[in-house]
Amino acid sequence: MRPFANRRVLLGISGGIASYKAAWLARLLSKAGAQVDVVMTPAAQEFVGAVTFEALTGRPVHTGLFDPGRALDHIKLAREADAIILAPATADFMARAATGQAGDLLTACLLAAACPVLLVPAMNDHMWAHPQTQKNAAHLREIGYTLLPPDEGMLAAGEGSGPGRMPEPETIFAYAGRLLEKGGGLAGKRVLVTAGPTRESIDPVRFISNHSSGKMGVALAAAAWRRGATVDLVAGPLTVSAPIGVETHQVESTEDMATAVGTRLPQADVLVMAAAPADFRPSSRATSKIKKDKAPESIALSTTTDILASTKSARSRGSIVIGFALETDDVVAHARTKLAAKELDFIVVNDATEPGAGFGVDTNRVSIIARDGSEERLPLMSKPDVADAILDRVEALLSGR
């Protein structure tokens, strides 16, 4: 899984109650294909046993600076790491790291490292708010480390709640991916993505919609953010969670989506229209629930705004515009017509009738048709992998403009 496959990640664990969450983080990293080297401080071993991490990563756990035969482990581990994640980073550990101490294996690894570092503070809210901790955090940022601010929520038993709680492993995992993609082709770019279906009301309780789950658009937004972009996601009702790090704007109808896209489009370097907005809406909306005994024999329909077509005059100079087409017949021909009519850089098309390639599934099989008419058919892939394949092509277009 990009960007973790075959990458070396040093996971450092210091001695806080949140250490138990690091076990799931180690599992997520390993499952994504990373080789995870766990380094634990003596205090961390008071909370979680080293054998837990060895079982989750399949690799030996490193604990001592002066263990026999491992005198240079801090140099070797630091040099081999593509990224270092410190989770949890306690107040004590942050203080020692900020002053360049190297009294244990983990702080020694930090001093020997040249790779990106992600610190995840976790402590009591008063300790986090203390001026000295804040000075240490600011200094660590100045050194070049990335700090993931603590969450607000329940702390250790009897400590109440407040800012200081360690973010969930899935959040840390997402930020670790962004760290490994640092300096990618989308860094500093603004990407606007749409996802999910829209709903067109018949009456206050019924609507016209489709089976879109939003999974493809969400995968694209997550992948673009991981590659360093600032991402705006305009989403209809989703059956999946909005991606971490992405600013999400929830909309209901196609007209709402068109307005939201139009508002944000002038600032976008890339527009990826992955949503499946409704093409039709009832010509009139009942103000109260339609009863069965008064149901109309038919519902008159009107067409909704064609969002992609409506953006043509508002696109910024040099921007990249990507469309999607989900078809059931004459798939490629319909996609080529849409590509030309809506003046797209390329269009991503799939067949709704093909197993594993339609709405609500975790995979997709797509063809990418470029403005010059060339067509590339991709194999059946996970939607995150499809997202990366699409963004690889977006980056190539951006580099040429």
Residues with a known catalytic role: 210
Name the 3-class secondary structure at 280. Answer: strand
For the record, the structure tokens of 329 come out as 């017949």
How many of the other CB atoms lie within 10 Å of CB of 364? 24
CA distance 375 to 367: 7
How many of the other CB atoms lie within 10 Å of CB of 200? 23
CA distance 397 to 148: 32
The DSSP annotation for 183-217 comes to T-TTTT-EEEEEESB--EESSSS-EE-----SHHH
Do residues 60 and 54 lie in contact, with contact meaning Cβ atoms separated by under 8 Å? Answer: yes
Strands 200-201 and 151-154: unpaired
For the record, the structure tokens of 108 come out as 């020694």
Name the 3-class secondary structure at 134. Answer: helix
Count of CA atoms in the C-beta half-sphere (13 A) of 31: 9
CA distance 122 to 155: 9
Measure the CA dihedral 377/380/385/390, to 10°.
20
Please report where in the chains the tokens 């035969």 appear, as a residue.
69
Bridge partners, residue 326, by sequence: 350
Do residues 187 and 228 lie in contact, with contact meaning Cβ atoms separated by under 8 Å? Answer: yes
For the record, the structure tokens of 222 come out as 């997550």
Name the 3-class secondary structure at 350. Answer: strand
The DSSP annotation for 142-157 comes to HHT-EE-PPEEEE-ST
